[in-house]
Chain A
């Protein structure tokens, strides 16, 4: 029994917590420089966070029981109460934020999904959900400033509910909340509509950037490299702005592995592939990328963050800024004063 007590004491000690914080801080700093995308998802790092969580949890439990003992004796001063309650609130807040994070790590789901304007998805196909629903992207719109820079990206969607069709718009900073799921505007792109007298895969008229088109009567192929909404020579293969002021399509004509040439086409401009084969790019259709997310731990993190903010503000304004020179030593608890 003594051994369990020793382990508990070690795990709940503030010195252990400080040490863990130091290690986590040091490793995080190194992680941002080395490999930020993978580093923070390694088991070692997660184990460190878990240890901190255990330490903080035990430490908070100790402080609560100590607090109850002192208060039940009924001799505690107001300053002591104020100090202990604010400290407990902010530490409990952090514990709850970490619990929320753990719940999210095990039960949270988040996926990016590409939906072409006009298409529908069913949330049941993307994530596990009790209340699946079907979402249609009616339109994807970019609002522009006068200079052509984007001011908002908006996906106009509709969700069928029983016999009613409800319309919503999802834009940056304005996610859709529906049936325990959130949908965020993540990014967007374009599909190019092609017309040809000779397409091998005649079903395929919407082509994504980077795809290659083959034909029946020739071995030559067309690679659709990129759609440029606002072409300007000075910007090369990048669009000057996202606004379609001067739309062009960059493509290459190939024979097997060999590239015969690169072209810059307008919409409806006929591209001669071979004697009997031609092709035109007729228009573009945008697609939107939505992040579909469910986070069952979010409410815990939310309560935790409110407790944390209230606790820390209380401590800052009503505890720490008292003039400690007047010698109001705190009873029982931590004493920061050294004057």
Chain B
């Protein structure tokens, strides 16, 4: 079983990387690789799901309890949302960057948490709550939406065309609403578990910083001089802070959220 788990993780990582290359070549119009890139992404997504499924069966609980499980879900939803976007908007340009980000996210597993691939720990008392599922799932959806939005924003800045701004806005709103829910649901849970709904814990504070960046983006969106590249830079800055909220806080700042 251990070998299967590892094999799955490394194949998914490889597939995401190859999908990124296919999207890159396909978008350059050298050869028509885009259908193959889409297919590869689907297969990688299936493998990613399989890892999550095996873990759920083996642990007997939802895979939402530590950093490793979070990365599996984070990547899964990022790619899923992108594929929906690709079909809905008929745009494959962001494929390269989204698959690259997914590859890097997956790469953090062997680099930062290889031990977790085959280790399922017991659930600590603080995490035994029905609030866990809603708090973490909303955070995952938010992070994934911000990843996709940042991918689109990066491409717009690179190409100096802002035709996808409407999509960026709608995806950011999705991330912002789910992040808001995650923060509030987390606060309700914290009130029950720790007796305080807000403690200025590093994770809380950085989630708030993330929330503020996107709140500023949404408020500035109506000013003409804040559309275009400035707004898109803010979307990318927001995602860099998301990554810090996840990796940086887990590995650099200790606090109440130390479950990694």
| A contacts, CB < 8 Å to B | 14, 17-18, 21-22, 24-25, 28-29, 31-33, 36, 39-40, 101, 110, 145, 147, 149-153, 171-175, 182, 184, 186, 291, 293, 298, 301, 305, 308-309, 312-313, 315-316, 320-321, 324-325, 334-336, 338-339
Query: Which has the most chain A C-beta neighbours within 10 Å: B188, B209, B218?
Result: B209
User: Is B125 located at the chain interface by the 8 A CB criterion?
Assistant: yes
Question: Are A21 and B212 also in contact (CB < 8 A) when A40-B200, A184-B195 are?
Answer: yes
User: Is B128 located at the chain interface by the 8 A CB criterion?
Assistant: yes
Is the CB–CB distance between A18 and B219 below 8 Å?
yes
Question: Are A101 and B208 also in contact (CB < 8 A) when A150-B125, A305-B187, A336-B169 are?
Answer: no
Enumerate 12 A-B pairs (CB-CB under 8 Å) in ascending A order: A18-B220, A24-B212, A28-B209, A32-B206, A151-B123, A172-B125, A173-B192, A293-B195, A309-B184, A313-B181, A315-B173, A336-B218
Instruction: Report how far A207 CA is from B36 CA in the complex, Å.
Output: 71
Query: Which has the most chain A C-beta neighbours within 10 Å: B176, B205, B224?
Result: B205
Our count of residue pairs bridging A and B at CB distance below 8 angstroms stands at 123
Instruction: Report how far A291 CA is from B199 CA in the complex, Å.
Output: 14
In chain B, what residue has the closest Cβ to A317? B177
With a cutoff of 8 Å between Cβ atoms, the chain A residues found around residue B221 in the complex are 336, 338
Is the CB–CB distance between A151 and B122 below 8 Å?
yes
In chain A, what residue has the closest Cβ to B212? A25
User: Is B222 located at the chain interface by the 8 A CB criterion?
Assistant: yes
The contact of A33 among B128, B180, B253, by CB within 8 Å, is B253
Is the CB–CB distance between A316 and B173 below 8 Å?
yes
Instruction: Report how far A32 CA is from B166 CA in the complex, Å.
Output: 34
Instruction: Report how far A226 CA is from B174 CA in the complex, Å.
Output: 52
Is the CB–CB distance between A173 and B184 below 8 Å?
no
With a cutoff of 8 Å between Cβ atoms, the chain A residues found around residue B126 in the complex are 172-173
Is the CB–CB distance between A336 and B193 below 8 Å?
no
Q: Give, as a whole number of angstroms, the nearest-CB distance from A184 to chain B.
A: 4
Question: Are A21 and B216 also in contact (CB < 8 A) when A31-B205, A150-B124 are?
Answer: yes
Instruction: Report how far A153 CA is from B208 CA in the complex, Å.
Output: 31
Q: Give, as a whole number of angstroms, the nearest-CB distance from A309 to chain B.
A: 6
Is the CB–CB distance between B169 and A149 below 8 Å?
no
With a cutoff of 8 Å between Cβ atoms, the chain A residues found around residue B205 in the complex are 28-29, 31-32, 36, 40
The contact of B206 among A29, A291, A334, A339, by CB within 8 Å, is A29
User: Is B215 located at the chain interface by the 8 A CB criterion?
Assistant: yes
User: Is B70 located at the chain interface by the 8 A CB criterion?
Assistant: no
Interface string of B221-249 (1 = CB under 8 A from A): 11010010000000000000000000001
Q: Give, as a whole number of angstroms, the nearest-CB distance from B23 to chain A.
A: 26
Question: Are A18 and B125 also in contact (CB < 8 A) when A32-B206, A101-B198, A335-B222 are?
Answer: no
Is the CB–CB distance between A22 and B169 below 8 Å?
no
With a cutoff of 8 Å between Cβ atoms, the chain B residues found around residue A321 in the complex are 170, 173-174
Question: Are A25 and B220 also in contact (CB < 8 A) when A36-B255, A172-B193 are?
Answer: no
Q: Give, as a whole number of angstroms, the nearest-CB distance from A124 to chain B.
A: 19
**Which 3 pairs of residues, A with B, have the shortest CB-CB distance?**
A316-B177, A25-B212, A172-B125
User: Is B129 located at the chain interface by the 8 A CB criterion?
Assistant: yes
Inter-chain pairs besides A32-B205, A36-B255, 18 sampled, C-beta below 8 Å: A25-B208, A25-B213, A28-B208, A32-B206, A40-B205, A150-B124, A151-B122, A151-B128, A153-B125, A172-B128, A173-B125, A173-B192, A298-B191, A312-B177, A312-B180, A320-B169, A336-B218, A338-B227
